[in-house]
Amino acid sequence: MARLIYVATHGPDDPTKACMPFHLAVNGAAVAGIDAEINLAGDATLLILDQTIEAVVPIGFPPLKELMQLAVERGVPIYV
């Protein structure tokens, strides 16, 4: 089976770039039946904090809070 690893490096200072790996993993790969995981590196490690999850709202993608919920529902692991 295919497997994708999305590496996030952008933090809350650029919400759209920060949410892109989450969106691709949960609304793209996972929906297509591809095993996906998200690795947070650098500034992206801040995205795992509750206050950041609540605050990050990108342009063109769902809010980070919704993407995190979908990651849990669809079994997409997130590594820091």
Find, among 64, 78, 80, the residue nearest to 15 by Cα: 64
Range of the domain at 53: 3-79
Rounded-to-integer distance, Cα 32 and Cα 9, Å: 24
Mean pLDDT of 33-51: 97
Beta pairing, strands 78-79 & 3-8: unpaired
pTM for this predicted structure: 0.94
Q: Tell whether the model's pLDDT for residue 57 goes beyond 80.
A: yes
Closest CA to 34 of 42, 25, 43: 25
Is residue 2 very low, low, confident or very high in pLDDT (cuts 50, 70, 90)? confident
Torsion angle of alpha carbons 70, 72, 49, 52, nearest 10°? 10
Count structural domains, the chain. 1
